[in-house]
Amino acid sequence: RRFVARTRGITAHQSCKRRPPVALMASPGQSRAEQGQVQKAFAAQADWETVFKSFLQHDTVQEHYAELLGQMDEKERKLIEARTLLPMAKAAYAKNDSLPAKRTGILEGYRNFAQSKGIDWRADAAKLESRGTTTWEAERAAVRSEVVAASMPAYYRACYEGPIHSYGHGNGEWMAAFDAPSAYLLVHLHHYPDLSPQAAFDMLHEELDKLTLKHLASSVSALRCIDIGCGVGTSTFSTVRSLEGMGRTASVTGVDLSDYFIAVARHQQLQLERERKGTVTLNFLHGDGLSLGTCGFRDASVDVVMLSEVTHEMPKVSSQAVFVEAVRVLAPGGVLGYMDLNPSQMLQSNSVGSLVDRIATSNEPYLDEYLELDVPAAMRAAGLEVLEETWPNQAKYPSLESCSLRIIIARKPPSLTLDTWTGKWALESRENWSAYLSFLGVPEAGHEGATSAPDFHEYQLGETSFFMDHRIPGMGMHLRFTAFLDGEWSRSPYPKPTALMSGNDQEEKEHRWKSSWIQYPTCFETTMPDFAGKGKTVTLRRELAGVDSIKYTVHVLEPESGEILVGPSFTWMKRTSREGPNSVVQELKERFGKGMSKPLEWRKKALDQVCAMVQENIEAWSAMQAKDHVTPSNFDGANRMLQGAAAFCKAGLEGWAAPQTKPETIPPFMQTEGEWQIIPEPKGVVLIIAPWNAPLLLCVLPLLGALAAGNLCVLKPSEAAPATSRLLARLVPKYFPDRSVVVEEGGREVVEALIAAPCDHILFTGGGSVARKIASLAAQHLTPLTLELGGKNPCFVDKAESEQLSLYVDEIISTKAYFSGQFCQCQDYCLVHKDVFDEFARLIEQKISSLGEQRHCRMINAAHARRVMALLDGQGEKALPPLPSAEPTGYRGEGQTVPLTALIRPELHSAVMQEEIFGPLLPLIEVASAEEAMAFVAQRPKPLVAYCYSQEPAVWASFADSTSSGNLAVNCGPWRLQSNFNVGIGGVGESGYGHSIWGQLAFDGSSHHKSIFFGKKFAVSPWAAKLVKP
């Protein structure tokens, strides 16, 4: 009172002697109807604002603190005023021992008001208490964690063993725990005054929950959620109800430091279980939100953390720590839903005396630190992205400052991965773009249009390449292309800079570029020399600035010195969708629908382009196949085959594609005037899936038939031959700039996506196990297939003179060695007549031994070598010649070679006789006669090729009649079998079906033969003619 009297005696004149006084803003206040019950309970206080106004105008205060006070806003000054009075208020309460009565009065006021609002506080608390102290203490002991209790933070222990709110042992007594459910309902009732207490509380938390989940990635299906500082579970139960109402599946864990509160929460849970829908599992743990590891929560193990009205009861440093702990447990992309008292509203609507009393009475002992805490800044410092700052029930509260609660949604930044690039992006803004446009020669009058023109990008990235769909509608530009992230120069798909696309002043020409990672997987850079023909180098750096933002940085450089001439110029793209670019299959279907590939001239030109692509790069193809360990790697011979097949195809194309007139088969009296035709028409988009053993040849040979039939094609080369695959991906855009042929690199996921697009026909060459998977996927879309498979190709060796047997041996062993056995037409095993078995085996051993180092056949990779070597398990004694002890010197340590080896009379149930070998092993089986050999073959799955080496025409005929195979080679090897373009090579049964290699059969396989009747007059059906009219 003496202090008040003295400050009132200071006049305005006295306070302005040396410097002008600091003006104070008046608080706008808030009607009591809009205040919460805590604010009302502490509202009746002395007019300390007037006291401090006079105090701050005193000459001494002005002299020392005028500059400081001048930099503060009204709310900051109010906090200083409260802290100035706080020590005296605490001392006064300690001296007169009036706090217990004050707390009791406040508590009774709450209970009475609750009763008037339909909250049966006293009865509900009494019901909980009636279970008896013994029962409650047993349940508290069951939930209590001694580790957590022993490490309880000092700030919390003070409120556990001492006062907080209206309780002498606030967080450490049963009465507080029994009162808590009703108290939580009461304090927020004013936010939704038209709803029941429970409905109001649930509505508040539903708003928080919905805002939180809105920012969670949709890919998160089963949520993992923690409610930190859950108390008796009231907020946790509301969250559970919100999640179940949204149909979400989740596991929710409430965590609190009070073992009293957790015991009540678990009891409440049992009472509420029967009301729940069961899509959310719920648990409560005695634990510390600052150290969730003691509750078993590992790093990045949680999707959502809820923090509801906790931090205003914590010191500032503890609040900062809880955000750090939330970041630890949240998975990348996980979201923090935060709600607590609104400092702006509190400082605006509460008097200094009210704030002081709330702190001094330990109702909220750390409230001054909370009011000082910059929560968004603390979240960012912890590593969170603040996504949204808002308030509940905006229909009632017009602004954040008018509501006593504040909601903040923050997110742990998602991990930026390759998948982050996938999606659709639109131009957001450009900076310093005029400097770049001036370099290009764009007139200044066109800068604004070029800067703001809508620009759309779509991306799909891989480790070594990226696909882009780029549209600038105002310039009539739309490009789709694949570029490579390997630092190698290649052809740019852009005929000129995009800023010049709409003009005709610059001639279109071929440009080169290269791209490489700067920081994988978030940043890569493209280099473009002699850009726009101006002799300067332009670099374009693309960088993920976040999950929904890409930053592009352009520099113009002096080529020799690297000096920056222009830039940096920036473009920012924002995400519009997480959906990836349209499938190349859909792209090609749209192009096919326009009829571009139907003319025969287009088809012939396409065949020429295939030939040119191979012929003009023959050395590169051979080098890449060698790099991939393809055997043989030299493509000269295969190229001659390809050129011959293409020439044959062109020569026969007009005849194959011509309509075929067919005669009538019904009696003349039933015929009507007209003509029957069968017209071969293209199927549409053909997917060609090639194997690794002939990665180029088995892409381009099927491509001939598909293009000749008028289809557009997607090539999927083998990922096991990456160098060849990449060269194909580089060259196809050069020779097919119209994107009538597109290369899609990748593994299983790429194949599955292409089949699911779906395409119109699939040509697959490879093994039976993969073929079954592809056929299963294709069946879901009823997509027709051509399967070029393999199998265990038998070779019957009839009795013959030694000289003739030597010819057989030379053919078989040279084929095995030339292809390392990795050829679908290789002889898999030999059925040898008993009369010549020993001699044949001797010649085989002699031939293999003569190979020297060449006996060691290099496999495509170590995994395949291990598979083939595994077929030798337990066969050592049957090996001929004996197995060597190690790889040859040149290959040692690589583990990629297998010695060419014959196996004498292996067990028929062994793996080497059950699986296709596809390697340099040759089992020799003894048979008594040609008939036994035929029976042996007939009893097994149908192979791609059966070989019959005999001098008896009767045996040839019997073999043809008695066995079934895709092809039969009598007295020849694979070379002769595939030397006639008039004859296709295809399988049957488990060796495949259809033809794709060459000739008319390949054309027919990629065509639909449509039957047409051209009636010159309308033909009435017999049943229509007989119909009796009423």
Distance CA 977, CA 982 (A): 11
Query: Do 125 and 204 meet the contact criterion of CB atoms below 8 Å apart?
Result: no
Closest CA to 655 of 1000, 354, 982, 153: 1000
Distance CA 580, CA 419 (A): 10
> Given strand 549-557, what is the order of strands in its sheet?
477-484, 465-472, 456-461, 423-431, 564-577, 549-557, 537-546, 523-528, 512-519, 490-491
Distance CA 423, CA 509 (A): 30
With a CB cutoff of 8 Å and minimum separation 6, the contacts of 176 are: 165, 167, 169, 170, 260, 261
**Type and span of the H or E element at 8:** helix 2-8
Catalytic residue of the set 159, 699, 795, 824: 824
- Please spell the DSSP secondary structure of 712-728, one letter per residue: EEEEE--TTSHHHHHHH
What are the CA-CA distances from residue 588 to residues 713, 757, 759 (Å)? 8, 11, 9
Query: Do 292 and 254 meet the contact criterion of CB atoms below 8 Å apart?
Result: no
Q: In 823-892, which residue ranges form alpha helices assigned H by DSSP?
A: 837-849, 862-870
Residue 586 three-state SS:
helix
Sign of CA dihedral 288, 293, 296, 299: positive
What are the CA-CA distances from residue 106 to residues 99, 260, 618, 951, 955 (Å)? 10, 22, 92, 114, 111
Distance CA 703, CA 119 (A): 78
Amino acid at 843: L
Distance CA 64, CA 124 (A): 56
Query: Do 811 and 947 meet the contact criterion of CB atoms below 8 Å apart?
Result: no
Query: Do 790 and 918 meet the contact criterion of CB atoms below 8 Å apart?
Result: yes
CA 653 to chain centre: 45
Which tokens is 916 given? 């296709």
The terminus-to-terminus CA distance of the chain in angstroms comes to 115
Q: Where are the beta strands (DSSP E) in 342-422?
A: 385-390, 405-411
CA 289 to chain centre: 32
The secondary structure of residue 928, as a DSSP letter, is: S
Residue labelled with tokens 């059906």: 1021
Closest CA to 513 of 533, 495, 527: 527
- Please spell the DSSP secondary structure of 607-672, one letter per residue: HHHHHHHHHTTHHHHHHHHHHTT-SS---HHHHHHHHHHHHHHHHHHHHHHS-EEE---S-GGG--
**Type and span of the H or E element at 742:** strand 741-743
What are the CA-CA distances from residue 974 to residues 257, 705, 816, 826, 857 (Å)? 79, 21, 11, 7, 19
Residue 133 three-state SS:
helix
Q: Is 16 a catalytic residue?
A: no
- 744-764 burial, b if ≥16 CB within 10 A, otherwise e? bbbeeebbeebbebbbbbbbb
The secondary structure of residue 1021, as a DSSP letter, is: P
Which tokens is 435 given? 């400097």
Amino acid at 212: T
Q: Is 824 a catalytic residue?
A: yes
What are the CA-CA distances from residue 345 to residues 36, 90, 350 (Å)? 12, 25, 8
Amino acid at 469: D
Catalytic residue of the set 139, 206, 207, 788: 788
Closest CA to 954 of 946, 962, 964: 962
Write out the catalytic residue numbers.
788, 824
